[in-house]
Structure 1
């Protein structure tokens, strides 16, 4: 009887420990996803600084499994980043406002109109400066950068890719062999993604630019001779 009671208590203890570990494990996984997402953004930023040929090769070698895994990671990390950013910016602004308030009421606690105006003006100025800093930061690791990283890996949809963009990519594919070769290599392994449309259009644009520049160098203003049949 005593052994059975001890086993029951041990089993209950294990159950309580396992339940208490679940929130901690989930929180740890969330933080890991956030840092992994930030690492993925830094990799994308480094990729965009490379020559265009290396960017094309990077996306050409991607598989559906890799892109889907990155999409899932970015989906979780993006939400956590928004929450962390809001809490962080608000905490900083409130701390600065608290310092200003402490300096104003350091000697006495009289509430005057001028002090109220200073508080609200300081609060508005702090929010503006922080918004400006966040806007500059947004292009490298802010919310805009998260959306761009997520959308670039998403499958081609009418919402993300307009008819004009798809038609332009199709025209470049028909006109230039290297664009067609890129499309064939990609579709042999996976579905087209938004960044593939961007790459095909950019490859065609660069090829078209080279052709126009060559024609411009050759053009001397002389009239063309039309051969009679």
Structure 2
């Protein structure tokens, strides 16, 4: 269970990181070492297995408990099995399970299956399955065009291999620089050339 709590702690740290300014995300991943990422992946792998087991057991226990409470409420005074009561029991049970499922689905974005997969993918090495050719090509173009992207890449590769999250960060840094350039060009497009306003004045 210790691994489970450590894994959940990593998920919460990731959630906080993705909600923080982009500069903080860049600094966080720039300073990660290979050993640190390997330890985090190992912790997440153990925690995910324990989380799945705990989720299955918890879901079954909650569903059986709810079913028992509904049945006890209907038959606590008169233990006669009728079709109406059976329909009420199972209808109420399914409805409550749907509500629980909906709440679990909302929780999934924070510490559920979706977040576990995102945590693994962000720390994964660059592969053709996780990183498309277009994504890698864009990161390469950005590194060739903008020194800031190249600096990040060199700082990371000096410590470890590039990961999936590094590709995302490199692309995002490049897009921010590209956006600034385009905005600057847009602000000046259509402006008259200052040289065109110069007219020769007669000497007399």
Q: TM-score, normalised by structure 2?
A: 0.90
| Pairwise CA distance, 1:221 | 7.1
Tell me, in whole angstroms, the C-alpha distance in 1 between the residues paired with 2:192 and 2:63.
68
Can you list the C-alpha shifts for 1:80-118, whole angstroms capped at 9, x where unaligned? 111111211221222122111111111212111111111
Alignment of 1:121-140 (within 5 A): 121-140=91-110
Residue equivalent to 1:174: 144
Cα 1:104/1:204, change in 2 over 3 Å: same
**Alignment counterpart, residue 49 of structure 2, candidates 79, 89, 100:** 79
Cα shift readout 1:101-138 (whole Å, capped 9, x = no counterpart): 11111121211111111122112212211111011101
Work out the CA distance in 2 between the residues paired with 1:106 and 1:219.
Answer: 80
Unaligned runs of 5+ in 2: 196-204
Q: Which runs of 5+ in 1 are unaligned?
A: 1-30
1:70 and 2:54 correspond: no
Pairing partner for 1:58 from 23, 28, 40? 28
Match of 1:149 among 94, 119, 127: 119
Q: Deviations over 1:42-98 (max 9, x none)?
A: 111111122101110110111111101111110110111111112112212221221
> SS where residue 104 of structure 2 aligns?
helix
Aligned to 1:196: 166
CA–CA distance in structure 2, aligned partners of residues 109 and 151 of structure 1: 54
C-alpha displacement at 1:169, in angstroms?
Answer: 0.9
Match of residue 33 from structure 1: 3
